[in-house]
Amino acid sequence: MTKYGSFPGSRPRRLRGTPVMRRMVAETRLHPADFILPAFVREGVGEPVPIAAMPGVVQHTRDSLKKAASEAVEAGVSGIMLFGVPEEGKKDALGTPGTDPDGILQVAIRDVRAEVGDDLLVMSDLCLDETTDHGHCGVLDEQGRVDNDATLERYAEMAQVQADAGAHVVGPSGMMDGQIGVVRDALDQIGRDDVAILAYTAKYSSAFYGPFREAVASSLKGDRKTYQQDPANVRESLRELALDLEEGADMVMVKPAGPYLDILARVADAVDVPVAAYQISGEYSMVEAAAEKGWVDRDRAILETLTGIKRAGARNILTYWAVEAARMVR
């Protein structure tokens, strides 16, 4: 056989020949500890409410949420990110349930901490969108625009009540300028320097949030393009990253994950803090819908998407498949 360059002496296929060989030389490995489970808890329901746009995901009752947290511990998952869905009549312009110690999110944090203690990191979404009657992530001014600085005052209160409820980690997700610094100061003021901040550093204005609107019973009017990032931009994310780190973020995150793997790789290369990525509702629903049609192998697609996210640089992945994926990779 004629020799072409290093062929036939060099044959990369030798390292792909058997499952054991492929496993041994794998450059990226998924582990249960990589995963964080996003979970929704809804006030005033007697049984879990299926989310039509996210097959297999529910709005939990308080009791079913505790069961889900215990299952996450058993599977070896690292954390659970909680989103509270208050009764519709309790929403208002200021998002009052978000700072009410007896609001559904704060109640859920206490429930989960009582159930699992420190065996699972209890993380809380720090944002107003689930609790405002207009559905925006902040309070509005007289012209109906999101008021950045007035919103920061609300975030400071939220951080303190979530910490008091027992959150190990708070996740400011509203993309307000200065939010990380304000939240850090608010926590430190009440002596909670032990509570970590997972910064939603690069949160893009994405079409893939669609199913999430149902999950949190969103009341959104309009869009969030004035505060979430433009999908066309890269350097803007790096600027947000620098600001979040300067303000005291302990961990940083890119959201969504799959459509923004280039951003994730740039962020991961730039920092020495843990980097997370959120595989959001639309990413989940696309795979589930295609699998239901028989167009993709569901389990393979799940693991391939998660592997791609980790390969791009994510230390941790928020995914609705967290418990299932953890069991798969064990």
Residue stretches of the annotated binding site for Mg(2+)? 240
Q: Are 151 and 128 in contact (CB under 8 A)?
A: yes
Question: Alpha carbon 317 to chain centroid distance?
Answer: 8
Structure tokens at 262: 């280039």
Binding site, annotated residues? 213, 224, 240, 281, 320
DSSP 95-120: -GGGT-TTSHHHHHHHHHHHHHTTSS
Question: In the numeric block, which tokens belong to residue 101?
Answer: 């110690």
Q: Which residue in 66, 91, 255, 310 is the catalytic one?
A: 255
203 carries an active-site annotation: yes
Structure tokens at 169: 């980690």
Q: Are 201 and 244 in contact (CB under 8 A)?
A: yes
**Residues written for the chain:** 330
Beta-carbon contacts of residue 27 (< 8 Å; ≥ 6 apart): 311
Q: Is 255 a catalytic residue?
A: yes
Partners of 49 in beta bridges: 59
Strand partners, 195: none
∠ Cα 308 309 311 (to 5°):
60
User: Letter for the amino acid at 113?
Assistant: R
- Summarize the annotated binding site for 5-aminolevulinate as residue ranges: 213, 224, 281, 320
Q: Which residue has the tokens 């044959």?
A: 11
Find out whether 198 and 169 touch, Cβ atoms under 8 Å: yes
From the candidates 66, 203, 221, 310, give the one annotated as an active-site residue. 203
Active site residues: 203, 255
